[in-house]
Amino acid sequence: MVQLLPSLYFLEFKHGEPWIAVMLLAVAIRALLRMRRAKAAKDKLAHVADNDKAKPQPFEMPVPPPYPNWSLETTKPLPYRAFRYGPKYNVTMGLRSVPPTEWIELDNRYSKYHADKARRLLERGSKCVKTAPEAYPAAMELLQELTDYLPARYPSLYKRTAVGIDNLWSGESLNITEVPLREDPMAMCSRLVQDDLALMIEQPDGQYRLLAGAILLAGFWRLSDKFGMTLSNIHTSGDVPHFKERLESGMMKFFQRLRCDTFYARNNYFIQVDDELPWSPSIGGEDEPVVSWGTAEKNKAIDHHFFRSERQTLRRLPKTGAICFTIRTYFLPVTEIAQEDCVPGRLASAIRSWDDWVGTYKGREKYGEILLEYLDRKHEEQLQRGLDVDKVENSRGYPW
């Protein structure tokens, strides 16, 4: 427009025909309005394209093949050792895509997880499990998905029935068609897997909120603290290191764009100085108003050090568009994993690579001395007996 004005001025005064200038001005204004409308429509389209991810999508979960040779007695937990050599610990989203057929992992720790969950559902109920009314359809969709997936993947443990699913080991029979259901759908989902489960629901402002969860074995955080929060608040309230500068915008985009047909996983790891899987009492009682590493006893003997690693998955449910976040914790004594080739050396290097913020978040001050001394000693022993570090490390890839 601004560029057109000198030419209009020229037409009017050079040729003395103001009507030409007026006509051209009208044409220019129309063109401008058209451009604006086109841009608004394009912006709206882009918004709809993003938001469409949260609307029903034509995706059907493939029927998974049975997990190879799966047995409740003999299938060991997968040996995730998701830590890297230093010198620098990089805070990244660390997501990788995984085949939908590998959504849920079960193994011979199942019975302990199942019993811990059953006890906590009884003792702690809605502190650990909750579904907001607006998340109920998503929770039902998750229950339906698990009821279809698990019997196909773990046929020696689960059987699909006309009304739901039977647990062939525990004798439980879940009816998912009853109205009302016998318990919260998230509690029913939770009894079926070793994972903790969360559903993130998109809000009209584009933010995702935690509106349904069964968080029974999380160790360091409580559903009651985070329920209803946005993805950002969940992380900033826990002072997750470098969240604002390294994670937030990537996570927002990831959530907006996640498609139903692509599943993702990430792994993390922590050290815990007690052996309780569901809740780590070292950071304070589960019902204390505030919990923190500050309360933990310093320099406990190495037998009290445990390695905790989560395999988390993210997928979008096709009917409701909710994002399902699963958190499976693998929990082992440090003294056990330190027997594995290269693990003590790599873990020690990883712990030394944490910056102060990461170190504070992970409680290093309370166990660093004892743990590093132990890991260094174990590493030295492995070198003494002739371990070829490069050879072993080159044969493995993250997260193993």
Show the DSSP H helices in 95-205 as ranges: 110-124, 136-153, 185-192
Q: Does 81 bind ligand HEM (CB under 6 A)?
A: no
Number of residues interacting with ligand HEM: please give it, by CB under 6 A: 18
- The distance from CA 316 to its chain's CA centroid, rounded to whole angstroms, is 12
Q: Bridge-partner residues for 265, per DSSP? A: 96, 313
- Residue placing its CB nearer to ligand HEM in the complex, 135 or 234: 234
Question: Which residue from 221, 281, 340, 393 is in contact with ligand HEM, where contact means CB under 6 A?
Answer: 221
Q: Does residue 216 belong to the site contacting ligand HEM (CB under 6 A)?
A: no
Q: Which pair of tokens denotes residue 325?
A: 């976040």
Whether 319 and 343 have beta carbons less than 8 Å apart is answered as no
CB under 6 A: which stretch of 10-18, 51-59, 166-174, 247-255 binds ligand HEM? 247-255
Helices (H), the chain: 4-15, 18-52, 110-124, 136-153, 185-192, 223-226, 231-236, 248-257, 334-337, 343-353, 356-361, 364-384, 389-394
* 284 sits near ligand HEM (criterion: CB under 6 A): no
Q: Quick one: which of 242, 370, 363 has its CA closest to 292?
A: 363
Which of 156, 232, 262, 268 is in the footprint of ligand HEM by CB under 6 A?
A: 268
316: contact with ligand HEM by CB under 6 A:
no
Cα separation of 332 and 365, whole Å?
21
What part of residues 84-113 is at the interface with ligand HEM (CB under 6 A)?
93
CB-CB contact of 319 with 56 (8 Å): yes
Nearest distance from C-beta of residue 98 to ligand HEM, angstroms: 14
Return the ∠ at Cα 136 (arms to 279 and 54), rounded to 5°.
Answer: 100
- Return the sign of the alpha-carbon dihedral for residues 219, 225, 227, 232: negative
Q: Does 135 bind ligand HEM (CB under 6 A)?
A: no
The residue from 129, 165, 193, 200 that contacts ligand HEM (CB under 6 A) is 200
In the numeric block, which tokens belong to residue 370? 């004892």
Question: Quick check: 235 binds ligand HEM (CB under 6 A)?
Answer: yes
- Among positions 21, 174, 198, 350, the unique one binding ligand HEM when judged by CB under 6 A: 198
Of 129-137, 231-239, 281-289, 385-393, which segment contacts ligand HEM by CB under 6 A?
231-239
Stretch that binds ligand HEM, among 106-114, 234-242, 349-357, 387-395 (CB under 6 A): 234-242
Residue, CB closest to ligand HEM:
238
Convert residues 317-346 into a mask of x (bound to ligand HEM by CB under 6 A) and - (unbound): --------x---------------------
Does 251 contact ligand HEM by CB under 6 A? Answer: yes
Task: Quote the CA–CA distance of 247 and 251 in Å, as a whole number.
Answer: 6
The H-or-E segment that residue 267 falls in is strand 263-272
Which residue's CB is nearer to ligand HEM, number 110 or number 255? 255
N- to C-terminal Cα separation, the chain: 61
CB atoms within 10 A of CB 32: 12
Single residue of 54, 210, 273, 370 touching ligand HEM by CB under 6 A = 210
* Nearer of residues 198 and 217 to ligand HEM, judged by Cβ: 198
**DSSP 8-state symbol, 297:** P
Q: If you search the block for the tokens 């070292």, which residue do you land on?
A: 282
Residue 252 binds to ligand HEM (criterion: CB under 6 A): no
Tokens of 245: 């500068």
**Based on CB atoms, which residue is closest to ligand HEM, 174 or 197?**
197
Rg of the chain over all Cα atoms, to the nearest angstrom: 27
Cβ distance to ligand HEM smaller for residue 189 or 198: 198
Prior bond of 399 cis (ω within 30°): yes
What is the contact surface with ligand HEM in residues (CB under 6 A)? 93, 198, 200, 210, 220-221, 226, 234-235, 238, 240, 247, 251, 254, 266, 268, 314, 325
